[in-house]
């Protein structure tokens, strides 16, 4: 394929400017889609403001005067009579039009009007006066030194010279099925649309192509993973497993049972497990994880569970000890803060295999940690861990199965894409007897009422989380605001209750200490400037107050709300905000995290759901996961069908698609 520099008109300078905005190949260039279109109507002079764009009909009144400058540049001026008055027209670098621009000729001029000089600087002159009533002009992301006009010229030149060579990723069969135009035509139209109908049609076609290519890749990777036989093969005794499950002090929900079943099947299968276990806060993922660890133990392998913070690791550890107290299973906790001596003991146990299960933080994946036969790795709140960290396990050659747990419900659309190459188990059903958390939206002016509600809970012996109002980090005033809030609460509740603060700039040790005190009910009101550590379990906390609630996404609010309602007492969540009440009202009526995340997603896109980690994979040039869900589903179905269809195995396109995937991975 030709290179960018081969396109006529692209010299070294424009090449480096194009590179600057991420355009390196001809393919990049022709898929540099307009981010919007300006629709120009044919109009009259009097309706157009200074500096505005215009399309106007008129008759040439004066012989064009041509001026030539250095470097082959030129400019032409003439007068145009229009139904709404006479106007001057200037056009650059169209000397070749001079012979056609005769006095008395009818033309359409497209350009920008300078009202004070009464001159239109034209970008184009057309002679076909019967052409459309509107002109749709593409507007591109450009950079200084590279104009919209340049961009358009380069793209059209590239299409003219190399349009036929541009790979069309839609197989013929689907091209025909949906009566799509070919790639070259589609690109021509998207960059030079004549009507909005045509534009719409090819936009769908190009979106489909992009999603087809993407879903093909995901389907392919998934298929490959399934085919790889590099996982552990185990035979798990259902009898022993069921015996164990029957001893759990509550009955598992159907979703929990189903998830366990799916995991156990994965553990037995020869491919490596790569599964996401998702479920709302409190839906009971932990038991599922522990049961998986037990199944793994039955086959003689070690398990490791990674948590994002020490507090969470410790919490899991205590639960795990309780869970396996009547068994011979040896459990250890490995975090950064335990003594060197203890650490060495644990390292030894993991190396020799006397420790069967280990819980910990990042400490689990340090180089010093060598496992004897690690068979299963579980990460809690997986989006907090980087991919390379997970890969960092020293395991004497055994490739463990991996289970990710996430309490952030992912809308179907995202599950399909972000976790597209993972299998997903979902727990939707809640354990029986869970109470709904009452949620109220309050204004700042209703603060007295909020304080009264808090006081009622405190009197009942309960504890409260408070998320402090938004503060500009840069102002460095955050502690002042939080301290003021603390003073206000002190004033309201006197010295009867202990109030403490955790904030973002605090060392993690100090933070953990206060969290610990809150857990032990030595602190009754915990004011936090940051989002409270995900997953902390303090059943006695029954109220969550969130100031400036409008600044959070609904999914985050739902997560925060999930900190309460963990015990048997009725719990509540108070959202304080003076704006965005409509959105916050969703929280009042909805308590299903999946529904909330769908709503959030409709309102805000995926920004709130995850950090930036996934965003690289999520950038599409024309498709949008948010708006093009239907096309995505179709593309998913079609690409899977195409991939699995043996008759197409000799297609050069299929080979090409697979080749391009294996190259980048």
- Give the burial class of 453: count Cβ atoms within 10 A of its Cβ; 0-12 exposed, 13-18 middle, 19 or more buried: middle
- Please count the residues of the chain: 665
CB atoms within 10 A of CB 192: 16
Name which of ligand ADP, Mg ion, none residue 253 binds, using a CB cut-off of 5 to 8 Å depending on partner kind: ligand ADP
Taking CB under 6 A as the binding criterion, the range among 7-15, 51-59, 247-255, 601-609 that sits at the site for ligand ADP is: 247-255
SS3 (DSSP) at 122 = strand
282 binds ligand ADP per the rule CB under 6 A? yes
Nearer to ligand ADP, 287 or 363 (CB): 287
Rg, C-alpha atoms of the chain? 32
Number of residues that bind ligand ADP (CB under 6 A): 16
Taking the complex as a whole, how short is the minimal distance between the CB of residue 607 and ligand ADP, in angstroms? 24
Q: Are 84 and 105 in contact (CB under 8 A)?
A: no
567 binds ligand ADP per the rule CB under 6 A? no
| 272 closest CA partner among 221, 232, 220, 222 | 232
Nearer to ligand ADP, 171 or 279 (CB): 279
Name which of ligand ADP, Mg ion, none residue 316 binds, using a CB cut-off of 5 to 8 Å depending on partner kind: none
DSSP string, 155-194: HHHHHHHHGGGS---S-HHHHHHTTPPPHHHHHHHHHS-S
* The only residue of 113, 159, 204, 252 in contact with ligand ADP, by rule CB under 6 A: 252
Name which of Mg ion, ligand ADP, none residue 379 binds, using a CB cut-off of 5 to 8 Å depending on partner kind: none
163 binds ligand ADP per the rule CB under 6 A? no
Per DSSP, 571 falls in state -
Nearer to Mg ion, 111 or 535 (CB): 535
* The only residue of 14, 203, 286, 524 in contact with ligand ADP, by rule CB under 6 A: 286
Taking CB under 5 A as the binding criterion, the range among 87-95, 174-182, 384-392, 528-536 that sits at the site for Mg ion is: 528-536
Nearer to Mg ion, 375 or 535 (CB): 535
Q: Are 400 and 393 in contact (CB under 8 A)?
A: yes
| Half-sphere exposure at residue 96, Cβ-oriented, CA atoms within 13 angstroms | 3
* The only residue of 58, 171, 193, 279 in contact with ligand ADP, by rule CB under 6 A: 279
- Phi, psi values for residue 17, rounded to 5°: -65, -40
* The only residue of 14, 188, 213, 283 in contact with ligand ADP, by rule CB under 6 A: 283
* The only residue of 535, 553, 562, 565 in contact with Mg ion, by rule CB under 5 A: 535
* The only residue of 407, 514, 523, 545 in contact with ligand ADP, by rule CB under 6 A: 407
284 binds ligand ADP per the rule CB under 6 A? yes
Nearer to ligand ADP, 31 or 314 (CB): 314
CB within 8 Å of 225: residues ≥ 6 apart:
271, 272, 274, 421
Q: What angle do CA 395, 397, 399 make, to 5 degrees?
A: 75
Taking CB under 6 A as the binding criterion, the range among 112-120, 283-291, 303-311, 618-626 that sits at the site for ligand ADP is: 283-291
Distance CA 77, CA 98 (A): 10
Taking CB under 5 A as the binding criterion, the range among 63-71, 94-102, 527-535, 638-646 that sits at the site for Mg ion is: 527-535
Name which of ligand ADP, Mg ion, none residue 178 binds, using a CB cut-off of 5 to 8 Å depending on partner kind: none
Two structure tokens written together for 564: 């309460």
Find the helix or strand (DSSP H, E) in which 18 lies: helix 12-20
Taking CB under 5 A as the binding criterion, the range among 333-341, 459-467, 508-516, 534-542 that sits at the site for Mg ion is: 534-542
Distance CA 596, CA 590 (A): 7
Two structure tokens written together for 67: 């001026």
571 binds ligand ADP per the rule CB under 6 A? no
Site string for ligand ADP, 194-233 (x = CB under 6 A): ----------------------------------------
Q: Are 66 and 101 in contact (CB under 8 A)?
A: no
CB atoms within 10 A of CB 106: 11
Nearer to Mg ion, 535 or 553 (CB): 535
SS3 (DSSP) at 84 = coil
* The only residue of 88, 163, 336, 431 in contact with ligand ADP, by rule CB under 6 A: 431
Site string for ligand ADP, 346-385 (x = CB under 6 A): ----------------------------------------
Number of residues that bind Mg ion (CB under 5 A): 1
Nearer to ligand ADP, 191 or 563 (CB): 563
Q: Are 158 and 30 in contact (CB under 8 A)?
A: yes
Distance CA 134, CA 196 (A): 10
Q: Are 370 and 516 in contact (CB under 8 A)?
A: no
Taking the complex as a whole, how short is the minimal distance between the CB of residue 539 and ligand ADP, in angstroms? 8
Distance CA 382, CA 274 (A): 12
Taking the complex as a whole, how short is the minimal distance between the CB of residue 563 and ligand ADP, in angstroms? 10
Residues that bind ligand ADP (CB under 6 A): 250-253, 256, 279, 281-287, 407, 431-432
């Amino acid at each position: 394929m030709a290179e960018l520099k081969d396109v006529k008109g692209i010299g070294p300078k424009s090449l480096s400017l194009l590179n600057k905005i991420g355009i390196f190949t001809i393919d990049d260039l022709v898929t540099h889609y307009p981010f919007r279109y300006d629709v120009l109507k044919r109009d009259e002079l009097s309706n157009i403001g200074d500096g505005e764009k215009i399309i106007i009909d008129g008759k040439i009144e004066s012989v064009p005067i041509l001026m030539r400058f250095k470097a082959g540049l030129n400019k032409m001026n003439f007068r145009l009579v229009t139904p709404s008055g006479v106007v001057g027209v200037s056009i650059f670098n169209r000397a070749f039009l001079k012979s056609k621009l005769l006095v008395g000729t009818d033309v359409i001029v497209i350009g920008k009007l300078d009202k004070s000089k009464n001159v239109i600087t034209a970008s184009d002159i057309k002679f076909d006066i019967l052409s459309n009533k509107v002109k749709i002009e593409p507007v591109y992301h450009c950079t200084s030194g590279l104009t919209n006009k340049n961009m358009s010229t380069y793209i059209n030149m590239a299409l003219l010279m190399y349009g036929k060579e541009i790979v069309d990723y839609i197989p013929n069969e689907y091209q025909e099925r949906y009566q799509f135009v070919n790639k070259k035509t589609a690109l021509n139209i998207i960059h030079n649309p004549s009507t909005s109908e045509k534009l719409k049609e090819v936009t769908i076609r190009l979106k489909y192509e992009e999603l087809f290519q993407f879903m093909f890749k995901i389907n392919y990777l998934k298929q490959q993973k399934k085919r790889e036989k590099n996982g552990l093969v185990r035979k798990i005794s259902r009898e022993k497993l069921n015996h164990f499950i029957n001893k759990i002090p509550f009955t598992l929900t159907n979703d929990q049972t189903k998830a366990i079943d799916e995991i156990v099947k994965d553990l037995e299968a020869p491919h490596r497990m790569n599964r996401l276990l998702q479920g709302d806060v409190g839906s009971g993922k932990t038991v599922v994880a522990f049961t998986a660890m037990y199944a793994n133990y039955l086959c003689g392998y070690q398990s490791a569970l990674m948590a994002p913070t020490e507090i969470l690791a410790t919490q899991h550890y205590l639960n795990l000890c309780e869970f396996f107290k009547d068994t011979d299973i040896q459990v250890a906790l490995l975090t950064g803060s335990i003594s060197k001596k203890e650490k060495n003991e644990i390292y030894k146990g993991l190396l020799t295999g006397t420790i069967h299960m280990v819980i910990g933080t990042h400490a689990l994946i340090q180089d010093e940690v060598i496992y004897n036969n690690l068979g299963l790795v579980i990460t809690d709140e997986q989006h907090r861990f980087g991919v390379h960290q997970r890969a960092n396990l020293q395991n004497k050659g055994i490739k463990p199965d991996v289970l990710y747990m996430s309490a952030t419900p992912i809308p179907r659309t995202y599950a399909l894409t972000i976790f597209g190459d993972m299998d997903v188990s979902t727990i939707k059903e809640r354990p029986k007897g869970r109470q709904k958390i009452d949620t109220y939206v309050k204004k700042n002016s209703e603060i007295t009422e909020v304080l009264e509600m808090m006081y009622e809970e405190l009197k009942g012996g309960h504890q409260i989380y408070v998320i402090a109002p938004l503060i500009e980090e840069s102002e460095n005033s955050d502690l002042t605001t939080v301290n003021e809030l603390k003073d206000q609460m002190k004033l309201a509740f006197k010295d009867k209750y202990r109030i403490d603060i955790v904030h973002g700039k605090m060392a993690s040790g100090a933070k953990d200490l206060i969290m610990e005190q809150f857990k032990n009910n030595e602190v009754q009101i915990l004011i936090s400037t940051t989002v409270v550590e995900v997953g902390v379990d303090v059943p006695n906390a029954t109220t969550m107050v969130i100031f400036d609630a409008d600044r959070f996404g609904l999914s985050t609010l739902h997560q925060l709300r999930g900190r309460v309602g963990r015990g048997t007492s009725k719990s509540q969540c108070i959202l304080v905000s003076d704006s965005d009440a409509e959105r916050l009202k969703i929280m009042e009526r909805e308590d299903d995290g999946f529904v909330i995340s769908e709503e959030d997603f409709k309102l805000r896109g995926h920004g709130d759901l995850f950090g930036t980690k996934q965003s690289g994979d999520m950038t599409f040039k024309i498709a949008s996961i948010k708006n093009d869900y239907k096309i995505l589903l179709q593309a998913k179905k079609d690409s899977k069908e195409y991939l699995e269809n043996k008759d197409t195995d000799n297609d050069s396109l299929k080979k090409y698609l697979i080749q391009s995937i294996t190259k980048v991975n």
